[in-house]
Structure 1
Amino acid sequence: MTVPSASMLHMRTGGIRLIICAALTALAGGFATPAHAQRPAGPGPRVAHRAAPAAPAVVARAAYLYDATTGTIQLSKEATRRMPVASLTKVMTAYVVLREAGLNDIVTINAADVRHAATNGATGASLRAGERLTVRDLLYGVMLPSGADASHALARVYGPGQAGFVAKMNAAGRSLGLTGTRYTNPDGLPKPGGGHSTARDQARLAEIALRDPALLTIASTRRHTMPVSKTHRAHTWTNTNKLIGKTPGALGLKTGYTRAAGYCLSFAADRDGHRLIGVILGDAKSDRRFRTANRLLNWAGDQISGTQDPVDDL
């Protein structure tokens, strides 16, 4: 038997290694990457993904904003907290009147209506005893200048009487599911006390109230003028809601203030086919509630449209 020399073993081992390497190379051929693709790629185009901006800050004690078209809640802060809502109460007053009266019905103002606003230090529509106005015009007097004289006259006639009217307000609230709401008068004044609602309830009420074409028209009006006639003096009422005519798509709805309630605002706007409804309760500054509402509407509108434009102040 011939014993292989060391040189022969080395040649055989080397050959085996060459065969193995060749086999592995052939096996990997199907997975080979072209040489040009193996080179590090240069910097490609970048796609910028901006995070959706956070909701604007709300300083007021409570706030609520939702998309009534989709039911999406956009913002909620202490939204179920029960608190006084001042003249936002008059939204329910208008809602009840529109179910009890005809818009062309005539109401005669009496001394008690005028005295009610004057003695309580409430805002009025400058009505005088003996004037006769339509329900439609009195609703302008309720919603634009927030006239407690106008709301008192309507409640007196369509209660009939204040107590009867308040009972109808609370019955309407129950039927609408406003579980955190209780009314004690038709205007939101502190007397007799005990009246309260929530930001969420008031937003729900606003959404329903604005379905009425007459109330939608009234609440969206910046100024209503009545020339003098045989039945009443001339009146010009300007909407206390500063969003009207300034914020795109703004529809109203109502302002309010008492010391206990702070500055309140029920607001709405149509944006890109969506109706946004909001409520701010208990702000310490009058103008801030409007700036906050404007920012919230613009922010929510941007979420709907997919844009992220700068939020403009009023």
Structure 2
Amino acid sequence: MDKSIRLGKSDLHINPIGLGTNAVGGHNLYPNLDEEQGKDVVRTAINQGMNFLDTAFIYGPERSEELVGQVMKEYKREEIILATKGAHEFKGDDVVINNRPEFLKQAVEGSLKRLDTDYIDLFYIHFPDEDTPKDEAVGMLKDLKDQGKIRSIGVSNFSVEQLKEANKDGYVDVIQGEYNLFKREAEKDMLPYTADNQISFVPYFPFASGLLAGKYDENTTFNDLRAKDPLFQGEAFKQNLAKVEQLRPIAEQKGVEIPHIVLAWYLNQPSIDAVIPGAKRASQVIDNLKTLEVSLTDDDISKIDHIFS
């Protein structure tokens, strides 16, 4: 079934459930990744009609783009809507964030080469730097769009003020930022601005490092980044788990699981057209697509809103 939607005011038409590929070749992010398994995740996504793929230069670095590019060669290019991001510059052993127009031009050229493609559907400035005027940075992406090298313009991790500067000429199509049921700051200023300006907001960390997937209990322990995350500490962790458990009856009534309810709730928020959960295994891709079968009533939406208010 075709559920494709238009991403913001761009001319990209996507399945609202996309694939985040930081576990495909993202060796600097995850230990012991199997590259063939990663490529299989991408294949499964495309075969299942999940046409919106999200990667970045810094995943790997470079390797995720290369692997996604290899898999794309097995399909018709126009079947895939490909997003990537750039802004990290390696200077010796240091990594700096660079939004200078000339650097972004190089970043796009580098991504085109690694992805082995003639154009990128959506290119994001991955992080803001401190000194480049954001409208100048976006101006370079507009030039590259006019040349046909990218089809739409995104920014990521920008504050509302930075987004307004970036969008001075109305060129920004998409912003990617952190948003989930536990971290709802975007609702204050960001989502109203994106809704008013036809900018699509793509949330990352939609499951709050797994907390919203409904798979943990009070005895679960963590030895990674979560070990220091306030959401996972002591009494707060217990309260957060209790909130997630309140989603279970809604999920059971719809015949799905908690993560599908969470993703469906995001897709009902203003200017959120798409979600891009990551996957390490092909089975997770297929599972995420069950979200499209979920229909939340107004009552469901306000009930979930209230649980996590």
- TM-score (structure 2 length as normaliser): 0.26
Between structures 1 and 2, the one with greater strand share = 1
Q: Greater Rg, structure 1 or structure 2?
A: 1
User: What TM-score comes out, normalization by structure 1 length?
Assistant: 0.26
